[in-house]
Structures are given as structure tokens and as C-alpha cells.
Structure 1
């Protein structure tokens, strides 16, 4: 059974033989693991055995044969930095064909790609137990998560304070959790306004390259600029930002040209590998950006490449900012001639 990390605590009255916690949101992964450990203790799993595994999955799984004299049931935790390889998958698949009643298997993994989630071992875990997804939250989910966390501390915030707090902590749940606790310590229970939140909270937002392009496609120029300067301040290489923007601009241009030739959108989405969850963003951007604009942006990618290589007097960062905001529908400034 597939389960989102935030729904997991409601699914623990009767434990399944195996839980796979996967994803790259560390707070959700840790809290899922904590919830499982607590539920297991209540249900008689009095011993815990942890293994940090690389290739020795079979050996770690065999350790379940060694219950202590004082334990009737045991938690077996397998923590890995990479997805199971073929041999590990085979060992897991064999183990789960007849899982022991006295063992609770907890597997903690990083984010799994689509291929890994179609593997036989993953499907076996999904059928026998629960696979728990711990992915970063969307902006809307982050706001809802903050409201829930504030509520735990019996705190409420004004709408503008919530918007500001969400913006300062987006993409960083660990920092967001700490800020909520700080607000409770400073102001106690009750309602908090924007001035109080601003006086207590620092900027802990964390963004990725994909946040930059998704926000630009959505047409949010102000947030696009914020993400851009955040990535720049973190020391991200200009070439990586150029790669991300190039991929997006060329995909949009190919889509626009395909539409001009009469190719149905559904076929273009499939041909260009545009996932269902991003199709709305792409469609919105195409309504905003005519083919002529996309051709201009495509040409300006070469300007950025030359500037990054030191073969142009222009600032690479200026060109990359201009490209980012152009995607969001705002023309900031023209290239220096």
C-alpha cells in the first residue's frame, strides 16, 4: 500500500510486516521512522536492530534469526544511501515471500526514481506492507503543514503572517519546524501577527533548479527572482542554471512549433516527455509566450553560454536573470550591445 508520510500516523493501529520510507524530505522521513518505532513498541517489538547497508542486504536480513533471550519481537531497520541493486532486490523479494511474524522490517531509502518504484522488490513491499513517500511539499502543502504545526503549539497567525512565514521557510521543513517552536517559546499560545513573526524568523527557504523553472512557467516573476538570487547566493554554478533554462526553453519552443504544424497537444506532451503534473504549467507558459519570444530566448541561450565561458563582455548572471524572468512573462532589460 502506498502512503504519504503525513498520513502514516493514521495507518499504524495494526502494523504491516514491512515499511519502506523513501524520499528526500529529511524531516518527514525521520518523523515517519519515529512514528513507526513508537507504534512498534506499543505492539510488543521490544528490540531494535539497525544496519547501514551497502551491498550486504542478504547478511542484514539474516540477522533477524538472532532474537535476544529477552525479546519476543524485533524491529529490523535497514538504512541505505542507494536503492537496492539486483542482488539486494532478490534478497528482499525472497524475504518477503514469507515474512516472519516476529520481525518488523523498516527500510529507509533516498528518493526513488520511477524505475525503482516498478522493481519487483518494491512491488512486493507495496503488496505485503506499506511504501511511505517523503517528498518535498508544494507551496500549498507547505502552508497547510505550517498551519497544522502551529496548531500543535496552540498558535494561530494572521493570513499575511502565514504567507510571510511560508515564504521564509519553503523547501526547508526542518527550519520551519524550528521556527514554529521558536514562536511558541517567544510568544506562548495564542494569535501572532506579521510584525511578531518577522521579528523572530529568519530566511531559511531552500530552493532547487526545478523550483526556478516551475515558478517561472507559472508566471510568478517576483518569486522567480527570489529563487534565482537564492541559488546564486548558494554558489550554484551558472552552467547548471543555463542547463535547466535551456532544457525548458527548447522544450517549449519544440512544443510551440509542433502546435503550428498541427500536432495534437497530447502527442507533443508524450514526445517531449512532459509529465502529467507539469502539463498545466507548460500550457500556461505557452499561452503567455508566443513562438517569436521563445525563438528569441533560444538565441539568448548562446549569449549566456559565451558569457559563462568568458568569451563575451556581458555578465552571465544578468543574462540568466533576464532569461528566467522572460519565462515568467517579464522583460527585465535587453542585452548590452
Structure 2
């Protein structure tokens, strides 16, 4: 098991943050990065849902101390419903907060081939387009940092073999057996056996599919000072939302195509001249009259006006970029 040279080149001499749980995947990636002499620190979420949660956090702190690494830990609140989505939102919000506050250039995640195929099947079962079913990439550029998944073309079986060969300790997450979580159901009944039998073909298929996706979406989404701009196309808008950290549900997909809206109270989607604009939703206590009038004359969508003002963007400057 190894990290591709092109991935290593993105990590070397950069400020990196590894999402760590002390489970099998992040533990394997931790030691693989150490072997490759990549500098990194740790970020961890304690959901307090497992019997070993306290011990896992304590052990992670000890591991960080042993290898001279910083560790940032957040304790999640108790989520009353839709645990998977709320936990994911909380997790990525904290990761982004640390990246921005501490100036980390790369967020390293331990997603692997089985995770990618699980996601593929989950989205396929719900009804999704190409941008959603291929939602995981080895490299994703966010506004202020990058997401890197060095193990995305590595199977779970390869990870287990690496852990055994190197006698690496990790905690077993018993919640992975609970089929009330849709991901676990897909994993146990469909994806794991398939990946074990057809991993090499699956790796090649994901490479070909992503090459086709990149050709299809090439230059289709532009960025202007944090605003993503694309055609009024469902798949492209979903892709832009994904780039902003949100995977829209089927209900949200219908909503976003009808009118200007705010998805998950975070990301706005507005339209003008058959173009879609996707950006972080912001408010402004009071827009100056002159600025409001300039926006009105330029027919800038209302949700977008506060964002432009907060970021010092003149309406004509914005219009000249995409018109």
C-alpha cells in the first residue's frame, strides 16, 4: 500500500491536517504519512456514542504527543434525528473552522475505495446525477484549502493487510455494524463483497468515469471571489453545491430549480439570464442606498446583494466577469 507520487507532491512542504478517529482507516493513513515523512497535525470529533469514545480521545492525544503533533478535538452535541447528515455537517464545519483559523492548506481524509463505492450505490439508490454519484475525488479544491484523499483507490482489504503487516493498533468502531445507518446497510449487503471480488476493475472504472466527468464539466463552473457560476443545469448546480460543502437532497434539488433559495440555511442559489450563482449566504444590516440602486439597475438577485457588498464587489464589476 502506498500513496501516489502526485498526491505526495501536494502534501510535501505544506501545512496538512489529518481527520483522525483512531479507527482502522485513519490509523493506517496516519502511519503511512509518517513513513512518507509528511508533516501533519490531527483533528478529531468525539461523538460520545461508543463505549470507547473517552478512551479513543485519550489515546489519540497520547499518539499526537508521541509523534509531536498538534491535535484539535471537538465534542459533538447529541443529534436528535438524521444522525448521519447532522454528524457530517458538524464534522466538516469543525474541520473547515480549524483549517481557516490555523491556516492549514490541505485537509487529509481517509476515505478509501469501499467508501467511494458505498457512496456511488447510496446516491444511485436515491436518484442522482453524475456529479453526485462520483462525489468523492482524490483532490478537491475549496475556497481556502484543499481536500485530499490519498487512499481513495485503496481497498479496505489492502488497508487491513497494511495494519496487520505493520502491527498497527486501532480501535474497532462497533457502530459500523448497526444497519439503522443506511451506509452500513449498503456496506454489509452490497458493496464490501463486490469490492473484495472486483477491486482492480472497480479502480479502473472510477478512473475512467472521473476522466469522463472532468471532460464534461471542464470550464463549466467558474469562480469569482467565492461565487460559483454555471449554467442553470441541475447536475452543474449540484456539483457547485458540493464544492461549497453541501450535497443536496432530492427535495432540495427540486426546490433549487424553482426559485432563488438558500440550501441548508448556508448556501444560496440564485439565477440571472439562465446562469446559476452559488455562494455562501450572508446578510447585511443595511445596504447603502446608492449600492442598492446600482444593484437594482443591474438586476442583481436580492440574495446576492449582501454578499457583494460585504466583499467589496461592485455590481458592474460582478456583471462584467460573467456577462
Q: Structure 1-normalised TM-score? A: 0.27
Larger radius of gyration: 1
Greater helix share, 1 or 2?
1
